[in-house]
Structure 1
Amino acid sequence: MSEFNYQGLFAERAPITTRGANRHAKYDFAVAYPDPDTLPLTGLVEALSTALEREGRDLAYYPVSAGYPPLRELVADKLRRDRQMDVTADDIILTSGSGEAINMLIQAMTDPGDVLLTEEYVYLGTMRQMRLWGANVVGVKCDDDGIIPEALDETIRAQEAAGRRVKFLYTIPTFQNPLGWTATLERRQRMLEVCQSHGVPILEDDCYVDLRFEGEDVTSISSMDDSGQVLYTGSMSKIIAPGVRMGYLVAPEMVRERALSFKSGGVNQFAALAIEEYLRNHMYDHIDEENQALRAKRDAMLAALGEHFGNRATWSKPEGGLYLWLTMPEGTDLAGFQDQSFSEGVGYYSGSMFSPEGNGRHMARLCFGHPTAQTVSDGIAELAAIFERNGIFQGK
């Protein structure tokens, strides 16, 4: 028989996506992977063994759609303690990473042509999902303190004047991806006030908040809101490992009921058992260990940039997270040079990949989480050498 032809049967929004093996340059600063040496492998195995002995027979049942109740209770306890949020386990849905939570909300709240606001540079995975479901993604001007409130107000007014519906503002206020800054308390308050005045919900993505190794925590936007206008998502991928695929959504009941319509079922109960048992006993000790390692790598990248880039570029100095933001002089085409740099041994993502408008070709995100501190230093030296021999420093 000839091969069946599916042409003409695919949904209009179904893009062609190839799933080959992830490529890595010799020095990989492109993807925000965590430190593999701090993965709590032994602790997770021991935690899983304990949890399975206690309630492993319950794996015979399908998990509840909102996810393993004890883990939701642990998340609620953590949010009350660390983010000053008045939540219970019933307010929380466990998801396959924070990405699933975001995608559920995009699908539940977005019709084709609706406007979704983001920072002027935004995590590319979220931007892709927004566009997949037909959203018009609009960036809002930022500075080192976060989204500029006046720019947010002007952007919303402009969209309303054009007859376009703004469904929500998506923001990463702590260690923003890719810019690296943390929004100040004043900016968070003003952002909320602007959105309240226009009736625009906020989706606060706090997935990096635990990765602070310098400075003082800033309370969540959600803690300032008592009306349910702020939706919240977080992740355990950053404090344990991306491979565990565990995140969570905090939202009012009306939103949770709609969002669950776009979830196929409960999260992996096997993983949830191990995560809950491990974090219940070791969470803050593990976070401290991880952050000590990340600080050393951040410092290695800052020192190497100072030595090898000098006054030929500027860069952010994040107080946490997994990356910093490199800015070359206007006219430098880091976007066009990205593949060449990868082929010569150093991977990065250009700024234009994070911009809804395609800006930032002279900018790049550099991730320091996965390599060793020495590898970070060597890789930045190699990136400078690549730029030198290809004329990038001269803007050619």
Structure 2
Amino acid sequence: MSANNSFSYEQLFARNAAEPAPLGMPRRGRYDFAVAYPDPETLPLDELVEGLRQALAEEGRDLAIYHHRQGYPPLREYVANKLARDRDIHVSPDDIILGDGSSQPIHMIVETLVDPGDVLLTEDFVYSGTLNTMRRFRADIRGVPCDEQGMLPDALEAAIRQARAEGKRVKFIYTVPTFQNPQGWTMPLERRQAMVELAQRYDVPILEDDCYVDLRYEGSDVPSLYALDGTGRVMYVASFSKIIAPGMRLGYMTAPRELLQRALAAKSGGAVNTFAAFAVHRFATGQLHSHIEVINDVQRRKRDAMLAALEEHFGDGVTWSRPQGGLYIWVRLPEQADLVSIRDRVLETEDVGYVPGTAFAADGVSGRNYMRLCFGYNTPEEIQEGIARLAAACRREGMLAD
């Protein structure tokens, strides 16, 4: 064969290789309601730089070595203390693994527990990143119907029993119980207790994704599923992304040690970036609590601006969530609306970005008349303008009545 012939890898891909992903940067709208970015003006840049300067002066020469795969010990100690104080989760720093955001710990858990065809239960619409990881490992993902308080306990039990009747074991239940992504609701205490009771009765673990819990604008905190369990059936992940900066790429997990040891063995890339861990640790230790208060005041105003704009510009037949925190509003248009088909045109003509409901559907196809709107990035004035543009586009495309 001539050395000049073009070579193809097509016949070499592994059977379980991931599906192709597009290369290049996707276009962002000026009115960017598609991705849950925080307010760029609230990023604590000076404080992070000062924390990094202090850490480098004290420990900078440790950058010459590779840290243990669990991650920078002082930051793990901080996380353990934060979990005990805020979530009634009492673990040691050695029970914490730091990861690249929360996505890497979730990936580690799925890789450790899931064989092709294993049943995983999620909310009927849930975080697309986790769904993509589950699909990567060829899981049998089954969405459980939800109301405004989360998974319906009877439906969850029915899904567990259905899997058992098919001779399958549910490997775990995945849930975002607080300010759920994308639906926005928070699971109340009684619903959490019901989920934990079902997990214990049917011997099914729970993966609790608590990434948004600090972003509360009103109402009272609800205990974590982990704290309600006490039997080792709950695995817990969270992140600094939404309370400091997504670009820092720092999150964490805790779980029973027999799982942590296996998950750690599946962790790729060694320890998290120590440079970033230095900065986050020094900043978080003294200033994170007050910073969260500041960003919550900002995000509350943005949430209220988006809710007001939806009320003004979207008419009868459209409903939306009214979250007590987080970064998402979940919008439902009439059944005949197809927000998938018009998304690119809306981005092109109106400079407005959103994500249609199908991206969050456990079955991958439901929710064409739903969209998730994120209110974190734009100013209140831009939110008003962007929602007006979005409503006008939906009417022009026949998705809304005039």
Same fold by TM-score greater than 0.5 = yes
Match of 1:347?
353
Using the TM superposition, give the Cα deviation of residue 352 of structure 1 relative to its aligned residue in structure 2, in angstroms: 1.6
| Cα shift readout 1:192-238 (whole Å, capped 9, x = no counterpart) | 10111111000000001111111111110000111111000000011
Match of 1:163?
167
Using the TM superposition, give the Cα deviation of residue 335 of structure 1 relative to its aligned residue in structure 2, in angstroms: 2.1
Matched to 2:190, the amino acid is E
Counterpart-to-counterpart distance in 2, 1:141 and 1:101 = 26
Match of 1:356?
362
Kindly report which structure 2 residues correspond to 1:11-160, keeping only aligned pairs within 5 A, or say none: 11-14=14-17, 15-160=19-164
Counterpart-to-counterpart distance in 2, 1:295 and 1:191 = 29
Counterpart-to-counterpart distance in 1, 2:115 and 2:200 = 22
Q: Which runs of 5+ in 2 are unaligned?
A: none
Matched to 2:173, the amino acid is L
Using the TM superposition, give the Cα deviation of residue 165 of structure 1 relative to its aligned residue in structure 2, in angstroms: 2.0
Using the TM superposition, give the Cα deviation of residue 323 of structure 1 relative to its aligned residue in structure 2, in angstroms: 1.1
Matched to 2:314, the amino acid is F
Counterpart-to-counterpart distance in 1, 2:23 and 2:79 = 32
Of 270, 280, 284, 1:275 maps to: 280
Counterpart-to-counterpart distance in 1, 2:163 and 2:317 = 38
Whether 2:341 is the aligned partner of 1:336: answer yes
Using the TM superposition, give the Cα deviation of residue 394 of structure 1 relative to its aligned residue in structure 2, in angstroms: 3.3
Match of 2:303?
298
Q: Secondary structure, in 3 states, of the residue corresponding to 2:102?
A: helix
Comparing 20-29 with 89-98, which one deviates more in the overlay? Answer: 20-29
Q: Secondary structure, in 3 states, of the residue corresponding to 1:365?
A: strand
Kindly report which structure 2 residues correspond to 1:188-267, keeping only aligned pairs within 5 A, or say none: 188-264=192-268, 265-267=270-272
What TM-score do you get using the length of structure 1 for normalisation? Answer: 0.98
Using the TM superposition, give the Cα deviation of residue 13 of structure 1 relative to its aligned residue in structure 2, in angstroms: 2.2
Match of 2:291?
286
Q: Secondary structure, in 3 states, of the residue corresponding to 1:156?
A: helix
Counterpart-to-counterpart distance in 1, 2:10 and 2:318 = 49
Using the TM superposition, give the Cα deviation of residue 310 of structure 1 relative to its aligned residue in structure 2, in angstroms: 3.2
Whether 2:396 is the aligned partner of 1:389: answer yes
The runs of 4+ residues in structure 1 deviating greater than 6 Å are: none
Q: Is the 8 A contact 2:80 2:91 kept in 1?
A: yes
Q: Secondary structure, in 3 states, of the residue corresponding to 2:158?
A: helix
| Cα shift readout 1:311-342 (whole Å, capped 9, x = no counterpart) | 24111100111110001111111122222222
Q: Is the 8 A contact 2:306 2:383 kept in 1?
A: yes
Counterpart-to-counterpart distance in 1, 2:250 and 2:207 = 18
Using the TM superposition, give the Cα deviation of residue 4 of structure 1 relative to its aligned residue in structure 2, in angstroms: 4.1
Give the alignment's Cα RMSD to 1 decimal: 1.2
Matched to 1:284, the amino acid is H
Matched to 1:73, the amino acid is E
Q: Secondary structure, in 3 states, of the residue corresponding to 1:310?
A: coil
Counterpart-to-counterpart distance in 2, 1:259 and 1:290 = 33
| Cα shift readout 1:333-371 (whole Å, capped 9, x = no counterpart) | 112222222222211111121112221111110110011
Of 356, 371, 375, 2:378 maps to: 371
Q: Secondary structure, in 3 states, of the residue corresponding to 1:97?
A: coil
Counterpart-to-counterpart distance in 2, 1:382 and 1:122 = 26
Match of 1:6?
9
Q: Is the 8 A contact 2:302 2:380 kept in 1?
A: yes
Q: Is the 8 A contact 2:339 2:371 kept in 1?
A: yes
Q: Which runs of 5+ in 1 are unaligned?
A: none
What TM-score do you get using the length of structure 2 for normalisation? Answer: 0.96
**Number of matched residues?**
395
Q: Is the 8 A contact 2:302 2:379 kept in 1?
A: yes
